[in-house]
Amino acid sequence: MGDLFRGPLRLITPAALLGYTASSMAIYFAASWGPICSKSSSFPVPTSALVASLAVSWVRVAGLA
């Protein structure tokens, strides 16, 4: 484990960990708060659910690109 923080990997490893953490948090908050925010914006519940699921799907596709 210590080798991940030595040599050329000493900068890449923390950057990858921070990127993964930020990505996970963004997906979590988008999936959790997206429907709540769109429902409070007077959208119907089915529309809010559809928009939230499409947004999460697009984030997944963008992550694969």
pLDDT higher than threshold 80 for residue 30: no
d(CA 65, CA 50): 23
pLDDT for 1: 75
The pTM score is 0.59
pLDDT higher than threshold 80 for residue 34: no
Which residues, 6 or more positions from 1, have their beta carbon under 8 angstroms from its beta carbon? none
The pLDDT-based confidence of 65 (bands split at 50, 70, 90) is: low
Q: Report the C-alpha dihedral over residues 8, 14, 18, 20, rounded to 10 degrees.
A: 60
